[in-house]
Amino acid sequence: MTEMVYGSISVSEGEPVLPRWWRTIDKWTLSCVFMLFGIGILLGLAASPPLAEKNNLPYFYFVQRQVFFGSIGLMTMIFITMMDPHKVRRLAVVGFVGAFIALALLPFFGTDFGKGAMRWFSFGFASVQPSEFLKPAFVITAAWLIAAALEVGGPPGRLYSFMLTSVIVIMLALQPDFGQAALVLFSWGVMYFVGGAPLFLLVGLAGLVVIGGTLAYNGSEHFARRIDGFLNPDIDPTTQIGYATNAIREGGFFGVGVGEGTVKWSLPDAHTDFIIAVAAEEYGMILVFSIIALYATITVRSLWRLLRERDPFIRLAGTGLACAFGVQAFINMGVAVRLLPAKGMTLPFVSYGGSSVIASGIALGALLAFTRTRPQGEIGDLLIRRGR
């Protein structure tokens, strides 16, 4: 009946799963994801061998692990893209409960690997960062709650989602992991705005963020040190920011040449948080602009496709995932060029990290599942018909 009234893309009865998936998936976004992963492996070949050598590990130890975990992440992504949006929602809710419990257990069983923040569970052969898996699951769960509030007689989902967000932000801030806390709060704020939140309420929330930042600055030496370093006009050339800034400057537009960069020998996080500095030094701004274009394409195309979506839950969840993905990439690159304080946040699909690449696969799998073409009219068509 929906197809008769609103129009649709025809779906053949008994059409095999793979042809239907290929016909309805956003191929541009899917291609961009694979290109980002390929670029990540290319940069890993340049950035990770120095660290492997310092730790007496095989020369391409980190590259091999990235290929392994990346393959798992991409296969998980493809699997999730084939799911119905409501199955994705059920999976996300279950995943959120598990990730939330894991996050709560971090103060008792976690480790900081000497970085001053209790963010990981170490299993010897591998480590897991629960907050990476919490993000996509939280976005989808919060979208479900906000969408439920839009229904007639629905529960106070906005209030529940705000309470849930507050608890998670506090838990992340106590690690401390202010970068992930800010990203969770931003994702919720975007969905809350799209869900019809009044502007004055968002202004009030922004005021609370300022107050929270002030309290964090006064109460956390870790946070204050990063803010002071960011505000200081003089860059210490022996810090990570100093090395990254110099590498970007040295690379120029065309780079110093493949394998000719030196920043990878100085930066301990050259293969993770500051991998964009390696890209800028060896390949120049050409590669950096290409990476930015890939992230922008994924984010903008996803939001454009979601404009046609009539289901409030899908529209909210997809918007939250797309914005979180784009903003995480912006934060990582912004830190490297000193536009933002140091956050300790990976570049999705490019930086080394098992938790990061698998969680990114889950997030993009859900986003691609939400943006698949389905037999429905565009939301604009529906509004025009209702106005007649």
Q: Identify the band that residue 34 occupies on the pLDDT scale cut at 50, 70 and 90.
A: very high
Question: 156 or 176, which is more confident?
Answer: 156
**Separate counts of helices (H) and strands (E) for the chain:** 17, 2
Q: Identify the band that residue 376 occupies on the pLDDT scale cut at 50, 70 and 90.
A: low
Residue 277 CA to residue 267 CA, distance in Å, equals 10
CA dist 365 → 165, 217, 359 (Å): 23, 36, 10
DSSP 160-208: HHHHHHHHHHHHHHTTT-HHHHHHHHHHHHHHHHHTT--HHHHHHHHHH
Is 128 in a helix, a strand, or coil? strand
Supply φ then ψ for residue 277, to 5 degrees: -70, -35
Point out the least confidently predicted range of 79-88, 247-256, 352-361: 247-256
Task: Tell me the pLDDT tens digit for each residue of 271-304.
Answer: 888 899 999 999 999 999 999 999 999 999 999 9
Residue 52 CA to residue 57 CA, distance in Å, equals 5
The pLDDT of residue 12 is above 60: no
Q: Identify the band that residue 10 occupies on the pLDDT scale cut at 50, 70 and 90.
A: very low
The pLDDT of residue 236 is above 80: no
Task: Tell me the pLDDT tens digit for each residue of 58-117.
Answer: 989 999 999 999 999 999 999 999 999 999 999 999 999 999 999 999 989 988 877 777
- Helix or strand run (H / E) with residue 101: helix 85-109
Burial class (CB in 10 A: 0-12, 13-18, 19+), 82: middle
Q: Taking the model in full, what pTM does it have? A: 0.88
Residue 278 CA to residue 46 CA, distance in Å, equals 8
Q: Are 136 and 359 in contact (CB under 8 A)?
A: yes
Q: Are 88 and 370 in contact (CB under 8 A)?
A: yes
Q: Are 92 and 140 in contact (CB under 8 A)?
A: yes
Question: For 329-355, what is the mean pLDDT?
Answer: 88
Q: What is the mean pLDDT of the chain?
A: 86
